[in-house]
Amino acid sequence: MTPTSYDALPAGLLAELEIAGLDPRAVYAGIVAALAEDLPEELGGEDVTSVATIDADAEGTGDFAAREPGVVAGLTVAALVFHVVMGHEVAVTDRLPDGTHVEPGDVVLRVAGRTRGLLTAERTALNYASHLSGVATATAAWVQALDGTRARVLDTRKTLPGYRALQKYAVRCGGGFNHRLSLADRAMVKDNHVLAAGGVVPAYQAVRAAYPDLRVEVEVTDLDQLHELLAVGCEEILLDNMSTQVMAEAVRITAGRATLEASGGLTIERAREVAETGVDVISVGALTHSVRVFDIGLDLQDRTSRS
């Protein structure tokens, strides 16, 4: 299969990705790489099952439907998959906006075109939509758990290689917020940096001296480190693996002088009690590193299949 060229893709879809904070060319490159896993050129680049069982002229329509309640994300990417495979010979309609809450049976996306192409693109499209909807659904559950408190839920850099921008986009679809996107856009002083620098204050001051205009957050594991950082003016502090009682005391000590982030093995069952300590944000690696995929299925109606 020869992928549809980037310049031949629907301009509206590419614009949607850009508006969503995604790089359309990077998304396109990822889709092409994903399709190459299913259609390796060295093996002929064909969906052999579809070629053998479906007439080349057969056409069909298919509904992508939710099998469970949740929040969808990645449907723009899924739509783009069909266009990369089928060019303008596919119609993608009834696509729900990413971030929509759905119930079982809701159609989230409808496709129509040559049946072979629909089935060739199906799994790649589902891989994107199911995974990203899983991230959005998990994030929405955390947002709901924190409702009525001041705390916001953040993601982390614990993302699948190559999927960071997409996963962080899905977090936004679920109502969450993004932590730093890379090692370069924000400094995050963690335990090993503290060890190497000789303490939380030397580590903080070293980053501040090297990058005076960059945001700096420092991880602490006890209240003594918190006191030290507040004394030198650190304004972003991560409370790592602390009990609820210690976090509440950290909030009292800080008294609004710094933004406090709770992190480290937090579960959604504990979310509200942590938020009620008064911390500003809660970071959750599980939103991206171990999320359960959201169940979406394709129901195909083939109109002219081989007899």
pLDDT digits (tens, 9 = 90+) for 61-98: 999 999 999 999 999 999 999 999 999 999 999 999 99
Identity at 275, one-letter amino acid code = A
Residue with the two structure tokens 């723009």: 76
- Rounded distance, CA 183 to CA 192, Å? 15
Domains 6-134+292-302 and 144-289 share a fold: no
Distances (CA, A) of 156 to 21, 181, 197, 226: 17, 8, 23, 22
Distances (CA, A) of 37 to 10, 30, 31, 85: 24, 11, 10, 13
Q: What is the pLDDT of residue 266?
A: 92
Q: Catalytic amino acids? A: 123, 158, 190, 219, 240
Mean pLDDT of 150-164: 95
| Domain limits, the chain | 6-134+292-302, 144-289
State the chain's mean pLDDT as an integer. Answer: 95
**pLDDT for 11 beyond 50:** yes
Question: 6-134+292-302 belongs to which CATH class?
Answer: alpha beta
Spatial contact of 235 and 218, defined as CB atoms under 8 Å apart: no
pLDDT band per the 50, 70, 90 thresholds, residue 149: very high
Instruction: Give tens-digit pLDDT for 246-284.
Output: 999 999 999 999 999 999 989 999 999 999 999 999 999
Backbone torsions φ then ψ of 19, nearest 5 degrees: -60, -35
Residue with the two structure tokens 């970071």: 283
Q: What is the pLDDT of residue 202?
A: 97
Spatial contact of 172 and 132, defined as CB atoms under 8 Å apart: no
**pLDDT for 41 beyond 90:** no
> Which residue, among 282, 290, 285, 286, has the nearest Cα to 261 in the 3D structure?
282
Q: What is the pLDDT of residue 110?
A: 97
Spatial contact of 39 and 52, defined as CB atoms under 8 Å apart: no
- Rounded distance, CA 207 to CA 214, Å? 9
**pLDDT for 307 beyond 70:** no
- Tell me the β-bridge partners of 90: 113
- CATH number of this structure's domain 144-289: 3.20.20.70
Mean pLDDT of 152-177: 97
Instruction: Give tens-digit pLDDT for 275-294.
Output: 999 999 999 999 999 999 99
